[in-house]
Chain A
Amino acid sequence: MIKVLGIVVVVAILAAAGYQVRSPRPEVIVPAEIIAHPFGFPLSNTFITAWITIAVLLTLFYFATGFNGSRMKLIPSGIQNFMEAAVGGLLDFVVGIAGEHNGRKFFPLVATIFLFIITNAWLGLLPGFGTIGPVSNVEHGNPRDFKEVNLGGLKLALILPGMPQPEAAKDDDSAVVAHPAKTPEGMINGVLVPALRPANTDLNTTLGLALIAMLFIQFWGIQANGPFSYGGRFLRVGEIFKGRIGFGLLDLYVGLLETIGEFAKIISFTFRLFGNMFAGEVLLLFIAWLVPFVGVLPFMGLELFVGFVQALVFAGLTLVFSTMAVASHGEEHAEHAESH
């Protein structure tokens, strides 16, 4: 009883404290914001985050292995132990689904996809992602007033609790009317463009991963079965050549469905990962606005879990589709003939 009372008191204190440092109403912008144009290339904030992810992974693997085995000890400890456990666990998972020989062939791609997605997802939960960035006058988003602070030459624009929020976007022409009130003294007007944004919340990242996964699946299918046998899965003309027109047309239709299914897999890979990550980010921002300190904790836990599950699902589905693509098409025909 005392324990329950104690927990309630602690939560109430946290909620009251959180209200003092509450977040502003979030701005949700679906496409990734371009923040620089080095050499004419539009550099988005998710691109920078993806490179940070790659740097983190490379650093971890360098301290675990030294890239040519120079830092590896016979009895592992520390980071090497951790990475060995991670890679070993992934290898067991892959070999468990695809078998020993195929598993080793698929392992580099599947493990890379898993590690890339999970590092992207978990890095995005650190403070600073989506909240720190230059304030500029860009087209989209609602301009708001930031409090200007000058720290010896370093100019900061801050949002403090209790400052007025920007009005919700209006769709009619009233937005074209000039900014109504003059900016008060000591404030800057503009839109916050975050410098860092989780890479998985960009449709380009997820589409790129999906395309690479599907390309590799097709490649392994053709490599294992030969182009005509693998192509015969999509263009099933075997029955027509044997003379059975009815079943032949049905088989052609099934082949057409398989082809559409391959493209649908690309779309589904892309939007499954994008939707989970983007919706998770929006959810965290809104919960931080509504129930500042206390509400964010369970949702952070949920985001950790969702990041792990989505990485596992993307990698696992790539593995399963590869295994299906590599499986010989002839077995399916043997079953087919038996059932008639």
Chain B
Amino acid sequence: MEPQAVKLLAAGISMGLGAIGPGIGIGLLAGKALEAIGRNPEARNYITTNMILAIAFAEAIGIYALVIAIILIFT
């Protein structure tokens, strides 16, 4: 196959597979955080702050895949 076609295919596969993990991870995180807030509404701010921090960790993995996909498409 032509290199350009393989590059585009690789970009699609990389982003598609790379989004599975962070999607599940962030869903689990948010679920547990909401559960914790439900049990203890007083700690709402503390739980939310830490949840955002942890979600950024998980999201970063998806962003790595996105960077690879963008580099593949545009160079």
Given A30-B74, A279-B63, A279-B70, are A313 and B56 also a contact pair (CB < 8 Å)? yes
In this assembly, does A276 line the interface, its C-beta being within 8 Å of a C-beta of chain B?
Answer: yes
CA distance A116 to B73 in the complex (A): 30
Give 1 or 0 for each of B45-66: 1 = CB within 8 Å of chain A CB.
Answer: 0000100110010011001101
Q: Which residues of A contact B28 (CB under 8 A)?
A: none
A317 contact set on B, CB distance < 8 A: 53, 56
Check if B64 sits within 8 Å of A30, measured CB to CB: no
Distance (whole angstroms) from the CB of B22 to the closest CB of chain A: 12
Q: Which residues of A contact B63 (CB under 8 A)?
A: 271-272, 275-276, 279
Chain A residues closer than 8 Å to B60, beta-carbon distance: 268, 271-272, 275
Cα separation A306 to B13 with both chains bound (whole Å): 25
- Are the C-beta atoms of A274 and B67 separated by less than 8 Å? yes
Does the CB pair A271–B74 fall under 8 Å?
Answer: no
Q: How far is the CA of A320 from the CA of B57 in the complex (A)?
A: 13
Size bracket of the A interface: 20 to 34
CA distance A29 to B74 in the complex (A): 7
Q: Collect the chain B residues with CB atoms within 8 Å of residue A275's CB.
A: 60, 63-64, 66-67
Q: Tell me which residues across on chain A come within 8 A of B53, comparing CB atoms.
A: 312-313, 316-317, 320
The answer, yes or no, to whether A28 is at the interface (CB within 8 Å) is yes
Which chain A residues numbered 270 to 306 have a C-beta less than 8 Å away from chain B?
A: 271-272, 274-276, 278-279, 282
Rounded to whole angstroms, the CA-CA distance of A317 and B57 in the bound complex is 9
The complex places the Cα of A282 from the Cα of B15 at a distance, in Å, of 15
Given the contacts A275-B63, A275-B67, A317-B53, A171 and B2 also touching, CB distance less than 8 Å: yes
Q: What residues of B have a CB within 8 angstroms of the CB of A57 in the complex?
A: none
A248 to chain B minimum Cβ distance, whole angstroms, is: 31
Check A30–B56 contact: CB distance below 8 A: no
Q: Mark A242-276, 1 if CB is under 8 A from B, else 0.
A: 00000000000000000000000000100110111
Contacts of A310 on B, CB cut-off 8 Å?
56
Are B3 and A278 touching (Cβ within 8 A)?
A: no
- Chain A residues with Cβ below 8 Å from B9 are none
CB-defined contacts of A170 to chain B, threshold 8 Å: 4
How far is A320 from B52 in the complex, measured between Cα atoms in Å? 14
Is there a chain A Cβ closer than 8 Å to B75's Cβ? yes
B70 and A313 within 8 A (CB): no
Whether A309 is near chain B, meaning CB under 8 Å from some CB there, is yes
Do A312 and B67 touch (CB < 8 A)? Answer: no
Q: Say if the beta carbon of B71 comes within 8 Å of chain A.
A: yes
A:100-136 near B, CB below 8 Å: none
13 A-B Cβ contacts within 8 A? A28-B74, A171-B4, A272-B56, A272-B59, A272-B60, A274-B67, A276-B59, A278-B70, A282-B70, A312-B52, A313-B52, A313-B53, A317-B56
* Residues of B bordering A, CB below 8 Å: 2-4, 49, 52-53, 56, 59-60, 63-64, 66-67, 70-71, 73-75
- Chain A residues engaging chain B, CB cutoff 8 angstroms: 28-30, 93, 170-172, 268, 271-272, 274-276, 278-279, 282, 309-310, 312-313, 316-317, 320
Contacts A171-B3, A271-B64, A279-B70 given; 6 further ones with Cβ under 8 A? A28-B73, A30-B74, A171-B2, A275-B60, A275-B67, A276-B63
The 6 A-B residue pairs whose C-beta atoms are closest, nearest first, are A275-B63, A313-B56, A272-B60, A171-B4, A28-B74, A275-B67
